[in-house]
Amino acid sequence: YKNFAFTLCHFWFAFFCGYSAQTVFDPMFISVYNLFYTAAPVLALGVFDQDVDDKHSLEYPQLYTPGHMNLFFNKREFLLSAVYGFYTSAVLFLLPYGIYHEAISSKGYVVSDYILLSNVVATILIIVVTVQVMLDTSYWTIFNHITIWGSLAWYFGLHCLYSVILPGTLLGSLLYAMQEPVFWLTTLLTSTILMVPGVAWRFYFTDVYPTLADRVRLKQRVTKRRSRVSETMTVTQSA
């Protein structure tokens, strides 16, 4: 999903650059996108995430059926990820492009240049794919927090450092973009539009067509909540 969203931004940009094969992102960002910015959260998700705890896994062996039947790794899931990535790339590029097209900053400067748009789209891309990993995470560990928040901090730190210290076309562009309210409003608006359908889809299927894992997770949360209430009442009575 994250690579479809990243790559297909160039497809949409081709309609506005005369099909010249110019990339919407700078070479530095393209080189480190998978290596530094988005790899760690996905790796932590794959290694540490679990649907339910070990106790309920042993209690409900049917939870292993989807893995045996490849229900989560098949052509249908790949196609859904591709379509979702296609939709994400369209909103990710076209909405900021429309907002920044012939835009003027609050100080009267022109902010509709190619480099600034590239930084805006890149920033929203990193935020969106990282939030997507957060939504996919069922079991949070310290490593998930470190990789997710660390990746976001690493992006802003490295990108700002790269655009301030090293000479080139990106010099100061991201910091300049972040000084304008339109940058934060565009980031919030685009991220919300991209996240709301996915969240609504999850809530709908979890409530209307829950899987065994969904029902067991609900039971697990209810059990924990009752245990906490019981402990609180015990402490209160003891006091």
Residue type, 168: G
Domain residue spans in the chain?
2-210
Question: Residue 8: what pLDDT?
Answer: 93
| Phi (first) and psi of residue 106, to 5 degrees | -65, -20
Question: Residue 207: what pLDDT?
Answer: 85
Question: Residue 134: what pLDDT?
Answer: 93
Q: pLDDT 10s digit of each residue in the chain, 239 long?
A: 999 999 999 999 999 888 888 888 888 888 889 988 999 999 999 899 888 877 877 888 888 887 778 877 888 889 999 999 999 999 999 999 998 887 776 666 666 778 888 889 999 999 999 999 999 888 889 999 999 999 999 998 888 787 777 766 677 777 878 888 888 999 999 999 999 988 898 888 888 888 888 888 888 877 777 766 666 666 555 55
Q: State how far the alpha carbon of 49 is from the alpha carbons of 42, 44, 84, 207, in Å.
A: 10, 7, 22, 22
Residue type, 196: V
Question: Residue 108: what pLDDT?
Answer: 65
Contact predicate 1/88, CB 8 Å: yes
What is the DSSP code string of 6-44? HHHHHHHHHTTTTT----SS-HHHHHHIIIIISHHHHHH
SS3 content of the chain, % helix, strand, coil (to 5): 75, 0, 25
Helix axes 181-208, 75-100, angle to 10 degrees: 150
Question: Residue 236: what pLDDT?
Answer: 59
